Amino acid sequence: MLLTIDCGNTNTVFAVFAGKEKRGAWRTATNVARTADEYAVWLTQLMALEGMELGDVSEVIIATVVPEVLFNLETLCRRYFKREPMVVGKKGVDLGIEIRIDHPEQVGADRLVNAVAAHAVYEGALIVIDFGTATTFDVVEPDGGYAGGIIAPGINLSLDALYRAAAQLPRIGIRPPEMPEEGTNSPVKVIGKSTVTAMHSGIFWGYIGLIEGLVTRIKEEYGTEMTVIGTGGLAAIFADCTPAIQHVDDEITLRGLLLIHERNAA
């Protein structure tokens, strides 16, 4: 079985595949201080709940945007899985796509993995919006080439900055707005009647404006129609409130890791 490890700035996702079938997936907070031994204890217990054990894993692939955690993840693979992991971005790992930007080595591994998976599933020119610690907009050309993109602050970063910088504003979480009943012509309410509702409206509809504005500008610059895919935990919330996002794909990064492993193992 294949173990995929997707390490982001906020969370790290471990998933086990038997062929193309996902047997289990688990999420933990990304922590540069977490040791290989701690990962092993945690994974042993979670895999056992799904009827698996560490020895069932025969291959491992890692994508990380946090270089400081790579040593412990590689140690985990060598010590407990007895395998040398495949690491996206290392020499010899073929992504199967061309990276058409000025400094290819600077692109986050997750963004390239998303591009690989998006091209495999969707046709034509694509925009992949990943709602993570940062909100990224990545352009994938019709032949699969990675053409660059945009990096904006993630919504939770924006909420945290607002709370920390303004003494009288409370800490809030993101939530979808109250929408009019289906079949009515009532407009969506954006004017807050309290501090909290004003903050919710500003964050949510401000991000809708960010999404729609950047998608429009990317399409104008690229010069053709493009399909937009949203991924990440908040993608579905925003996709329900804007026509700018056509598809929500929460497992695009795991699928990309699976495809890259298949390509290189072959």
- Residue 185, marked binder: no
What are the distances in angstroms from CA 64 to CA 40, 92, 168, 227?
18, 17, 37, 26
**DSSP-based three-state secondary structure for 114:** helix
- Residue 12, marked binder: yes
**Spatial distance between the Cα atoms of 264 and 96, rounded to a whole number of angstroms:** 9
- Residue 8, marked binder: yes
**Spatial distance between the Cα atoms of 103 and 154, rounded to a whole number of angstroms:** 23
- Residue 13, marked binder: yes
Residue 112, both tokens: 């390239």
Residue 131, both tokens: 């709602």
Which is the catalytic residue, given 37, 110, 138, 249? 110
- Residue 35, marked binder: no
**Spatial distance between the Cα atoms of 106 and 87, rounded to a whole number of angstroms:** 15
- Residue 6, marked binder: yes
- Residue 110, marked binder: yes
**DSSP-based three-state secondary structure for 144:** coil
- Residue 109, marked binder: yes
- Residue 148, marked binder: no
110 noted as active-site residue: yes
For residue 227, list its beta bridge partners. Answer: 126
In the annotated binding site for K(+), the residues are: 130
Name the residues annotated as catalytic.
110
In the annotated binding site for ATP, the residues are: 6-13, 133
In the annotated binding site, the residues are: 6-13, 108-111, 130, 133, 195
In the annotated binding site for substrate, the residues are: 108-111, 195
